[in-house]
Structure 1
């Protein structure tokens, strides 16, 4: 039995920091700092959880191109080999993202061929995920999500931002999601409102526990018929917010695996997210059991 499993695209982040402005068309601007790392998304969860002693497995998509081979080397450097590569014909499956990082926010420009687990047979997806205690909802596989949920597997989900993000695109499987973690911008877009609490209530009509992340404002979540707030941890000084949401979800999963109540799961999310912002990239700042005990 595995603690956590997920499918995920492989992501490569090119992170730019320390620039005064974004270039306009025909211009060039310079960043003082640059790094290239494995990127965010659901791949963060198994890598971080394995470092904390959990048994995990990642299903991902890599080709024979140079970018895929670079990602394999970066995984090796992190000592992470708990992954399976699923056959596909796309020669360019890795998502490559330029990350423009400010102290408290970031922007992205990505190339994404859209190679997800949705290209796989549902039985293949189900067979991979079925022996885990917690899974990330498989993209484009609502019946698999329903089946896992009904069999007692805990299911988490974070849709991430897209220009066409809408409730119609995700409502089919939201009832089977135990914890859904959009950020405030995504939640407002889904609900069609600028009012945060209205957005949380709207999402609670589709999924039992929406948890909306608010950056340095902590998060708001729905529990027992009301909206509750958990503050961010002030001691963490942010230098880069890349991957904060993915680490937040990892903290939630940690809480589910250790059978914490929802309020402590959310607190764990803030611990993991806050710590991640103190270094560059998704994996730069390690969460330890001692850190968890200190802030939980």
Structure 2
């Protein structure tokens, strides 16, 4: 019987509110350009009111990845908590509309749906101000054992590894996946996640609980507390069966025990917004992996998906990624 899903992803269910501003908007509010900050409900309300008209679309790292997988012709499901409010309805509508299987019922009590207020400056840098809200209330009851067993790969984001309840949910899901003989993939998400949970992340790797690890250059260096990317990549060698380190304009490096393979970027027609580039790289790589492609081609699929998403505002693909991959890889 074929798997129902190629990838089942667990992550923060967040609505992105994307607005364009000049640098002085950030300077006037004392917000570091290019940063990713966690903010309170009060600050979220104030900032939301001040950014003016913005584009609202369901986001969140792992959710963006599932949207990319579907655009590439794959089958994806997402697990994340929203509330029964306006933004929660936006999230559920958007992710289902692109073809992702999303079945988690909205919470009728607790905190509002999470939101990420993204300020994009003229140089395409994004500054992310995130109120997690109901995301952090995800718990073990949200994990459907049959759905996890029906997925070729279980994928989760480091952003969610903080409150005890989501951690328990992830541990339950990974135990089910491993019992079912499925692959478990993880993205480190951000340097601040690594700095806060380095011991936990290394523990997951050392216990053999992670089959595929995604990290960008800065996250990999932070994980092993080094300023040298080659040292970080060497430390990953053999720590997990498969690791992929993305390096922005330098492409990506695929690391397997005793081997490294560098893959250049796929050039983008233009760069308007780098939001979601890493999420879409993971989408391309994981889709290629579930199709049985060579690891180098999986990474090329990742660069194709990442190139498309930085060509426009927003972290979800707008072009037919499946067609782009066919044109370049066949």
Q: Give TM class, smaller chain.
A: 0.7 to 0.9
- Compared with structure 1, are the counterparts of its residues 80 and 291 closer, same or farther at alpha carbon in structure 2 (3 Å cutoff)? closer
Corresponding residue for residue 304 of structure 2: 271
RMSD of the TM alignment (CA)? 3.0
**Is the 2:152–2:290 contact (alpha carbons within 8 Å) kept by the matching residues of 1?**
yes
In the alignment, what sits opposite 2:10? 7
Select the residue among 84, 107, 110 that pairs with 1:64.
84
Check if 1:192 corresponds to 2:221.
no
Compare 153-162 and 50-59 and name the one that shifted more.
50-59
- 1:147-189 CA distance string (max 9 Å, x none): 5235331222112115352431212333332221111111111
Q: Which has the higher helix share?
A: 2
Question: Where do 5+ consecutive residues of structure 1 fail to align?
Answer: none
Match of 1:168 in 2: 199
Count of aligned positions: 293
1:228–1:105 CA distance, 2 compared to 1 (3 A) = farther
Q: Which residue among 180, 186, 195 is the counterpart of 1:151?
A: 180
CA distance in 1, matches of 2:226, 2:53: 37
Change beyond 3 A, Cα 1:26–1:244: closer
SS for the counterpart of 1:280 is: coil
Q: Deviations over 1:110-136 (max 9, x none)?
A: 1113635862159x4544311111221
Q: TM-score, normalised by structure 2?
A: 0.77
Match of 2:44 in 1: none
Alignment of 1:1-296 (within 5 A): 1-2=3-4, 3-21=6-24, 22-25=26-29, 34-75=54-95, 78-80=97-99, 82-86=101-105, 91-92=110-111, 94-102=113-121, 103=123, 105-113=125-133, 115-116=135-136, 119-121=139-141, 124-137=143-156, 140=167, 141-142=170-171, 144-149=173-178, 151-161=180-190, 163-165=192-194, 166-174=197-205, 175-296=208-329
Give distance in 1, aligned partners of 2:149 and 2:280: 23
Q: Comparing 30-39 with 65-74, which one deviates more in the overlay? A: 30-39
**CA deviation profile, 1:223-244 (whole Å, cap 9, x unmatched):** 2413331111124422111111
Q: Distance in 1 between matches of 2:257 and 2:238?
A: 13
